Structure 1
């Protein structure tokens, strides 16, 4: 498969992921509005924060490293060993669900059972749902590696929609069940998701078309199960060592260097998550398939190296533009957003300052996502291990800096410490990218350069909207707020128009890769 074909498939995967994110956010918003009419905000809060955090942390620690290692390129891969390695996520998930479940029940404060009943059952079922989802990990990785776009869209959409219907039905008819409702719905969601992948591969491999799919490394559904043979190792130890390196990195990132307050995090990073999570996931696969680990850029196929450099440059430009837009306009509209979201309780306190600070963090978050997307796809195992040592030192400095800045300027200090942490990580990735391409003719870091005209437009928009906030928002009532919103819409339109006229290379990339439908085979 050529690099251009891989790029096209990665772009389709990213665009479909973006549409899914929008759909899921819309469904979640409507569902939460419905649920709050029947259940207390304390129950909804425990589900959205405590139990969801347990579920996502279990999955992240159990599978993230395996995904990064097993989605890396390698045309000579023995897929039976890769699938065996992926099945190890299940016992690892059992361990993490039990360990984290014990922390949630024994070390963290347990909610008042009169206000939030059945909390222990919720912890158990959310942990179990994570383990159930891990049963589909070999199927998911195989689908992602071969970029089965339609499968991902159908499986995730169907699972979310059925989960939402079940949740709404139980809330309407059995509201006294409380956490039972969300726990059963979550378990139902992961079960449907796994069954979609299993059913798809079962039908695909049993059909006559499966003989035509020469790129598919399995011919029977049994080939996807753990396979022990005498003449070769159970797993590929080189792949396993790379997984261990990524696991150490994931553990450090999750436990030591992540975290920001809930409401501000949800509002501030909404656009970044909507746009960049699908892009990072999809283009990590692209870089991992096109580039070869352990090899210098000059020793690889130059067409692939050139395509990877062009894509990286465009993604960096996209991340920078999106992040700057959030930062510039977020500064003047944080108070209004919090006022709409939570009323005067949020907008009149410390919330606007916190959200403004977080907008700067989102800019760094967006750039870091793209740079690490490339870096972790191209790094050798030894380079990943060296990076982990830097992460360990960084984590220690992050904790110290968090303590000092929090004492100095409160919650904003914690966000500033996160900005410092993210800045160091970006610097590490930029240094790697520079070294990777220094002996070639390609300069993908040019994606971080903007035209002076566009930078001036951002600066002017920031100044105009800041003045508009002082004069119009937010004590003067809704007519003034609407006027402030209109000023922002005009400035945003002017900024996007300037970007459209000056960043022609990025616009061409978006049009050709994300905006133009292509003919695909039945798998995609």
Structure 2
């Protein structure tokens, strides 16, 4: 929890810092997705759906290695407060520490503890990469291992995953100290490197007449990883000397018995927290990547490639806006809701966390009300200008339209689970893991019904994902209401919902768009009419939500002022 002589001021500064960090992370996502979008537009016309399906499996391979190795460690680090009072220096705590030099030692020790535990990501990554490689070579990619340069691509991607994990000590410091500018710079360069590598190799192979298969995607990921580790090394090494810590594993307890080397390296609290989070993170990954896993097991590579195209384009907004908001909000919630030395709650911090969560949920609700009626129509209109003829299949537009309705569920689930992750105690996190198993069963059952019994194919998988997200949102919402009730600061539904007029307008607009969808998407006159109705609908919604928008505008002005004061 924030520990300062002026808690209210510290909380406002923390929120301002989070807003600044969120802005930078969004800019990173905009830049990286712009590079990726441009590269995709160039390479999609040179690749078949089958090759894109293989590349999707390679991405699942690398994502699984990196996620299982580092996610629980990162979540534990987010719960480590950067404050002198929370660190044991030579057996002294809080007011017993000598001022000045001891306080600096306390801050450096807090940083050193998260650096040390971040090395566990690398330790986990090596055996996980070997197991994943063996699994993929014998099962997932066995039939095509000697085609499309798949074996070489798998090896390159595995090396890239380990290189990316080796940057975790740097990321731990960036996350704890809020060095968002450094992260933004490095990740933007890395995203450019990845896109340039993929696009360059595809263009060269097409010009030279070589069939390089999926090697461009593997090379792009390797380039991304190298840019990450090189960028962090260049920008971060000087900080270690300035703030008196080491990026190599070092003791955090100077009085530890030399024979107890491991005990002197790691914070026991962080280790226990990471272990508690691991099972939940594992279940969450299976849920998050469940669509890719089911496709790899049940669908053809061509179908998988078509779905991957819809997921990549359809989730652009989710990755550009919602993901940075979720990540920075999780950090904010963890900082506000971590208890102080006396194991007591600060009502001001609880209220700040509640206001932040309610504001985001209300904003997501407003976005959803706009997306549900308009998304399917306008996605269909713009689709044919983005992809080549080999992708212009009859079911592609319907798949994109359905995916646009899935994105709001994805966004709301992200922010609610971010709060659950930050607010839960270690014992609650262990209990949450069992709930995740139930969610996995619900998702598998929904996928079986939609794919096998009803034979809906890729659209059925999106419907299964919607069911999955809806169940998880209901559970997260139940936890959130219970949490605030325990803190005697109830969160009412009215605080996160829109007005009755807004819901009425949304119902009418959805009915009109569904009834006239074919007309709106078949000719230029229909496009213009759909655009006009869409603009009118958005203006009506904004008018109904004028009070909420003004409140957010005033709050944003106050946050910007705090950010300016902080930098001066």
1:338 Cα shift? 4.1
1:183 aligns with 2:231: no
1:322 Cα shift? 2.0
For structure 1, which runs of at least 5 residues remain unmatched after alignment? 211-217
1:240 aligns with 2:271: yes
Aligned position for 1:455? 503
Aligned position for 2:469? 422
Pairing partner for 1:28 from 23, 33, 36: 36
Pairing partner for 1:86 from 111, 115, 118: 118
1:369 Cα shift? 0.9
Residues 461, 492 of structure 1: 8 Å contact kept: no
> Within 1, Cα distance between the matches of 2:142 and 2:283?
26
> Within 1, Cα distance between the matches of 2:266 and 2:360?
34
> Within 2, Cα distance between the matches of 1:414 and 1:33?
25
Q: Which stretch shifts more, 48-57 or 4-13?
A: 48-57
1:493 Cα shift? 3.8
Pairing partner for 1:219 from 239, 244, 247: 244
Flag the 1:127–1:344 CA change in 2: closer, same or farther, 3 A: closer
Flag the 1:227–1:444 CA change in 2: closer, same or farther, 3 A: farther
Pairing partner for 1:382 from 405, 421, 427: 427
Aligned position for 2:300? none
Provide Cα deviations, 1:487-509, integer angstroms capped at 9, x if missing partner.
Answer: 32332343344434544333433
1:337 Cα shift? 4.4
1:170 Cα shift? 4.1
Residues 338, 352 of structure 1: 8 Å contact kept: yes
Pairing partner for 2:352 from 307, 311, 316: 307
Flag the 1:418–1:472 CA change in 2: closer, same or farther, 3 A: closer
Aligned position for 1:51? 58
Pairing partner for 2:133 from 97, 101, 104: 101
Pairing partner for 1:128 from 150, 159, 164: 159
Residues 327, 362 of structure 1: 8 Å contact kept: no
1:300 Cα shift? 1.1
Flag the 1:380–1:197 CA change in 2: closer, same or farther, 3 A: same
> Within 2, Cα distance between the matches of 1:451 and 1:130?
47
> Within 1, Cα distance between the matches of 2:388 and 2:536?
25
Q: Which stretch shifts more, 104-113 or 85-94?
A: 104-113
Flag the 1:390–1:482 CA change in 2: closer, same or farther, 3 A: same
Provide Cα deviations, 1:331-376, integer angstroms capped at 9, x if missing partner.
Answer: 4334334444457887773445544443443222211111111111
> Within 2, Cα distance between the matches of 1:109 and 1:464?
46
1:29 Cα shift? 1.7
1:484 Cα shift? 2.5
Residues 287, 308 of structure 1: 8 Å contact kept: yes
Flag the 1:344–1:128 CA change in 2: closer, same or farther, 3 A: closer
CA RMSD of aligned residues (A): 3.1
Q: Which stretch shifts more, 126-135 or 505-514?
A: 505-514
> Within 1, Cα distance between the matches of 2:290 and 2:379?
20
1:40 Cα shift? 3.5
1:36 Cα shift? 4.7
Flag the 1:513–1:469 CA change in 2: closer, same or farther, 3 A: farther
Residues 454, 502 of structure 1: 8 Å contact kept: no
Q: Secondary structure at the match of 2:127?
A: helix
1:417 Cα shift? 2.9
Pairing partner for 2:319 from 273, 289, 299: 273
Pairing partner for 1:361 from 382, 391, 406: 406
Q: Which stretch shifts more, 419-428 or 181-190?
A: 181-190
Aligned position for 1:324? 369
> Within 2, Cα distance between the matches of 1:256 and 1:369?
12
> Within 2, Cα distance between the matches of 1:417 and 1:33?
29
> Within 1, Cα distance between the matches of 2:346 and 2:548?
32
Q: Which stretch shifts more, 322-331 or 492-501?
A: 492-501
Residues 336, 349 of structure 2: 8 Å contact kept: yes
> Within 2, Cα distance between the matches of 1:19 and 1:347?
31
Residues 379, 400 of structure 2: 8 Å contact kept: yes
Residues 73, 291 of structure 1: 8 Å contact kept: no
Residues 145, 151 of structure 2: 8 Å contact kept: no
Aligned position for 1:255? 286
Residues 26, 321 of structure 2: 8 Å contact kept: yes
Q: Secondary structure at the match of 1:227?
A: coil
> Within 2, Cα distance between the matches of 1:18 and 1:53?
24
1:149 Cα shift? 1.7
TM-score by length of 2: 0.80
Flag the 1:455–1:94 CA change in 2: closer, same or farther, 3 A: same
> Within 2, Cα distance between the matches of 1:133 and 1:23?
20
